[in-house]
């Protein structure tokens, strides 16, 4: 099934390459870094105790991605799609994991500072759309099998959920703490 879906979707073009590039370390990590600095600045300005902890937790989570993905790639040793040169180490997708953790962490860090519900919904929607676009671009370009992308999303769901739980247990000075609370309405 993985092969059939990949063959049906694969059509290398510039647009799919641009979508997949959103998962590059050089794009996703600087985007997260901007949010880390902004949230640290806002937290400190609001007088939040341990204002540095949420940005630090997100940065450590981002650093954890290669520490998890690279050994998994080597252990599984899966060959890539035909569009790529022969090789192994395509499962799980590192670009997908980078995008999911960078944009997901950035979203979780920004949510408490957005008091307007439509703004929070827009941010969550944008995060989901960007991550879906990265996954689609990687498969459409022929860089990864669909299962490589799905596996990374599964791994990153656990990572992002861990950050979400950590952030939800902390008070957010100067922000609406219910913004990331598990009990807050959508």
Least confident of 7-16, 51-60, 73-82, 160-169: 7-16
pLDDT of residue 61: 97
Three-state secondary structure readout of the chain? CHHHHHHHHCCCCHHHHHHHHCCCHHHHHHHHHHHHHHHHHHHHHCCCCCCCHHHHHHHHHHHHHHHHHHHHHHHHCCECCCCCCCCECCCCCHHHHHHHHHHHHHHHHHHHHCCCHHHHHHHHHHHHHHHHHHHHHHHHHCCCCHHHHHHHHHHHHHHHHHHHHHHHCCCCCCCCHHHCCCCCCC
- The mean pLDDT of 80-108, rounded to a whole number, is 84
pLDDT of residue 85: 62
pLDDT of residue 8: 58
Give the pLDDT band (50/70/90) at residue 53.
very high
pLDDT of residue 177: 45
| 123-137: pLDDT as tens digits | 999 999 999 999 999
pLDDT of residue 119: 95
Residue 47 has pLDDT above 80, yes or no: yes
**What are the boundaries of each domain within the chain?**
2-179
| 102-111: pLDDT as tens digits | 999 999 999 9
Give the pLDDT band (50/70/90) at residue 172.
low
- The mean pLDDT of 63-75, rounded to a whole number, is 92
Instruction: Determine phi and psi for 88, rounding to 5 degrees.
Output: -130, 175
pLDDT of residue 178: 44
Q: Which residue has the higher pLDDT, 176 or 85?
A: 85
CA distance 75 to 62: 21
Task: Show the tokens assigned to 20.
Answer: 């997949």
pLDDT of residue 86: 61
pLDDT of residue 38: 97
């Amino acid at each position: 099934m993985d092969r059939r879906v990949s063959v049906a979707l694969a059509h290398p073009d510039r647009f799919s390459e641009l979508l997949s590039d959103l998962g590059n370390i050089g794009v996703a990590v600087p985007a997260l870094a901007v949010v880390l600095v902004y949230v640290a600045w806002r937290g400190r300005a609001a007088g939040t105790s341990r204002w540095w902890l949420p940005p630090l937790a997100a940065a450590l989570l981002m650093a954890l991605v290669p520490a998890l993905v690279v050994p998994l790639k080597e252990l599984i040793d899966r060959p890539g799609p035909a569009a790529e040169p022969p090789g192994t180490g395509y499962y799980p997708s590192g670009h997908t994991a980078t995008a999911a953790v960078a944009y997901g962490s950035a979203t979780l860090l920004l949510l408490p500072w957005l008091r307007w519900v439509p703004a929070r919904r827009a941010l969550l929607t944008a995060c989901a759309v960007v991550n879906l676009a990265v996954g689609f671009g990687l498969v459409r370009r022929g860089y990864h099998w669909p299962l490589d992308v799905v596996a990374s999303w599964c791994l990153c769901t656990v990572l992002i959920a861990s950050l979400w739980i950590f952030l939800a247990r902390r008070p957010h000075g100067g922000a609406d703490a219910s913004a990331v609370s598990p009990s807050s309405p959508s």
